[in-house]
Amino acid sequence: MVNFRNIVLVSVFLFSFLKGEGQTTQTNGEITRILFVFDASKSMFARWQTGEKIKVAQKLMTKMLDSLQSLDSKNFQIALRVYGHQKPVPPQDCNDTKLEVPFADDNFNRVKRVIRGLRPKGTTPIARSLLRSAHDFPECDNCRNIIILITDGVESCDEDPCAASRYLQKKGITLKPFVIGIGLDVNFKNTFECVGNYFDAADEKTFQKVLGVVISQALNNTTAQISLLDGNKNPTETDIAITLYNRTSGLVNKQFIHTLNNYGNPDTIYMDPLVTYDITVHSIPEVKKDSIRIAASAHNTIGIDVPRGILDLKISASGRAKYDVLHTIIRKPGKEKILHVQEFNTEQKYLAGTYSIEILSLPRYIQNIEIDPSKTTTISIPPPGILNISSSSSGYGSIMMLEGTEWKWILDLSSETNRQSITIQPGQYRAVFRSKTSKNTEYSSTKKFSINSGTTTIVKLN
């Protein structure tokens, strides 16, 4: 395996131990835990800029840790894993990686002492160190876990850091890293594109600056507004549930109800700049927007088209005849999938478009309707009547409704009883009946009747 002697890399992995509910922001008491994975392999003795690479890295790390320690924050902790520092080469020991300082409050001085005391010896097991780092974070329900890997070379144990990165990302443990390289040629840069986001540091000053950017993003979320756009492309749609997913792991990052603030603008939320998001707006039907990246240290606006109109279903009660609950099935025309089941005498917002509605009354009504953005579509049906139907004995029967010149089947009567009460829409009907004791078709009887809103109609069958 080729080893590059004049390289310094910094890779940042975001670890998320999500448990269905996702992670919260630092504004809600979230703790950021930073694990430094430090390269102490033999190649760190090589010269770079003002001295040996190990000396330069120790100096920059100590300065950066001093800055972190001065923040005196209760919202972050650090830990240190080192590799290449226990076994000299040759021979090569690819298990030479160890958690030297576990997570704890105010352990900055201990981390600095360990770093200052390192003497490079061994090899560069990057992939194995990254995978084992996943176990360095104690269980925590409200933690944002990050790895910063500092190394002067590529993988030297014939293992694949890219595969390790993909595995950890797919499992929801890590995110794609940042890679900061010094003196990298084009071919070497391409080698790390599968591992992380590449940054070039030409000297110590640039390296220190980029490291500061990485630390800043590790400690801070950034602000964003999700603008739900109406039919006129104005951000007026609101009061809808939204789910933010980590696109890499597929796990829930955040769920909330969209809100407009007192000024009528979308409320500001905090989002992690290290995450690529898939967003689902739980409108009817749902709207999805995938692969959303946000810019760190800037206010981000995310626009999503959600033009909605209102469907108002109306039916009044009249006399004794009324529905306890009357439902309507909402679908897209020609589709079997049910989008929603809406009760009558309620309003519900839907995305603008054409829908098929099926009113579950007797008889059922099916029609296509158009929902226009920012408008109300009203569907009214007359109040039902009541049909009290009886016969001298139980039997087999059906109720038909006259539509034009044809009779349409509505329902079958129960064959287990001779008395039934049915809530039914106004119209012209006919009952067809034959008792169980009659074994001849000629004994079938029919009777016409009318149903009026709010009234009871009594029908006696022979």
In a domain, 141, yes or no: yes
Helices and strands counted in the chain (H then E): 6, 30
Are 23 and 136 members of one domain?
yes
Instruction: Of 163-172, 251-260, 360-369, give the lowest mean pLDDT range.
Output: 163-172
Identify the pLDDT of residue 202. Answer: 63
Instruction: Let me know whether 99 and 192 are in one domain.
Output: yes
Q: pLDDT per residue over 57-69, tens digit each?
A: 888 889 889 988 8
Q: Please list, in sequence order, all residues whose beta carbon lies within 8 angstroms of the beta carbon of residue 238, skipping any fewer than 6 positions away.
A: 228, 258, 259, 260, 266
Are residue 164 and residue 280 in the same domain, yes or no?
A: no
Average pLDDT on 3-16 reads: 36
Confidence of residue 174 (pLDDT cuts 50, 70, 90): low
Residue 183: pLDDT above 80?
Answer: no
3 within a domain of the structure (yes/no): no
Domain identity same for 51 and 98? yes
- Domain of 179 in residue numbering reads as 9-219
Select the more confidently predicted residue: 433 or 19: 433
Dump pLDDT digits (tens) for 348-375.
999 999 999 999 999 999 999 999 999 9
Is 2 within a domain? no
Q: Band of the pLDDT at 13, cuts 50, 70, 90?
A: very low
CATH number of domain containing 62: 3.40.50.410
Tell me: pLDDT of 23 over 60: no
| Model confidence pLDDT, tens digit, residues 197-250 | 677 666 777 778 877 877 887 787 789 999 999 999 999 999 999 999 999 888
The last residue of a domain, from among 380, 400, 427: 380
| Residues 149 and 274 reside in one and the same domain | no
Highest mean pLDDT among 31-40, 72-81, 278-287: 278-287
For the chain, percent of residues with pLDDT exceeding 70: 89
Q: Do 180 and 235 sit in the same domain of this protein?
A: no
Pairwise CA distance, residues 75 & 379, whole Å: 55
Three-state secondary structure string covering 59-98: HHHHHHHHHHHHCCCCCEEEEEEEECCCCCCCCCCCCCEE
Residue 95 confidence (pLDDT) above 90 = yes
CA distance 188 to 197: 13
Percent share of the chain, pLDDT over 90: 56
Q: Is residue 1 part of a domain?
A: no
Peptide bond before residue 177 is cis, with ω within 30 degrees of 0? no
- Specify whether the CB–CB gap between 418 and 393 falls below 8 A: yes
Tell me if 255 is assigned to some domain: yes
pLDDT at residue 324 is higher than 50: yes
| Residue 453 domain-assigned (yes or no) | yes
Q: Could you tell me if residue 214 is inside a domain? A: yes
pLDDT in tens, 199-214: 766 677 777 887 787 7
Q: Look at residue 373 and give its three-state secondary structure.
A: coil
> 137 and 20 in one domain?
yes
Strands (E), 84-172: 97-104, 143-151
Say what the pLDDT of residue 181 is: 65
Spatial contact of 342 and 356, defined as CB atoms under 8 Å apart: no
Mean pLDDT of all residues in the chain? 86
Q: Are 115 and 61 in contact (CB under 8 A)?
A: yes
The answer to whether the CB of 82 falls within 8 A of the CB of 97 is yes
d(CA 305, CA 332): 19
Mean local confidence (pLDDT), 81-102: 95
pTM over 0.95: no
What mean pLDDT is predicted for residues 330-348?
97
Q: Which residues pair with 460 in a beta bridge?
A: 390
The mean per-residue pLDDT over the stretch 315-343 comes to 91
Q: Are residues 65 and 181 in the same domain?
A: yes
pLDDT in tens, 435-461: 999 889 999 999 999 999 999 999 999
CATH number at residue 333: 2.60.40.10
Region of residue 373 (left: phi > 0; alpha: psi -120 to 50; beta: else): beta
CA distance 218 to 32: 7
Q: Say how many domains are in the chain.
A: 4
Does 176 score more than 80 pLDDT?
A: no
Domain co-membership, 197 together with 280: no
Q: 291: domain CATH number?
A: 2.60.40.1120
pLDDT at 16 over 70: no
Kindly state whether residue 151 falls inside one of the protein's structural domains. yes
Q: Are strands 376-380 and 308-314 parallel, antiparallel or unpaired?
A: parallel
Confidence band for 7, pLDDT divided at 50, 70 and 90: very low
Res. 75 pLDDT band, cuts 50 70 90? confident
Residues 215 and 226 in one domain: no
pLDDT of residue 185: 59
Q: Last residue of some domain: 192, 219, 246?
A: 219
The whole-angstrom separation of Cα 282 and Cα 237 is: 12
Please provide residue 127's backbone torsions phi and psi, each rounded to the nearest 5 degrees: -60, -45
Q: What is the pLDDT of residue 2?
A: 34
121 and 166 housed in the same domain: yes
Confidence category of residue 12, pLDDT binned at 50, 70, 90: very low
Pairing of strands 406-412, 419-424: unpaired
Q: What is the model's pLDDT at position 397?
A: 95
Q: In this structure, are 298 and 335 located in the same domain? A: no
Residue 425 has pLDDT above 90, yes or no: yes
State the pLDDT at residue 180.
67
Q: What is the pLDDT of residue 28?
A: 57
Do the beta carbons of residue 113 and residue 56 sit within 8 Å? no
From 25, 19, 115, 125, select the one nearest 64 (Cα to Cα). Answer: 115
Which one of 277, 305, 333 terminates a domain?
Answer: 305
pLDDT at 25: 37
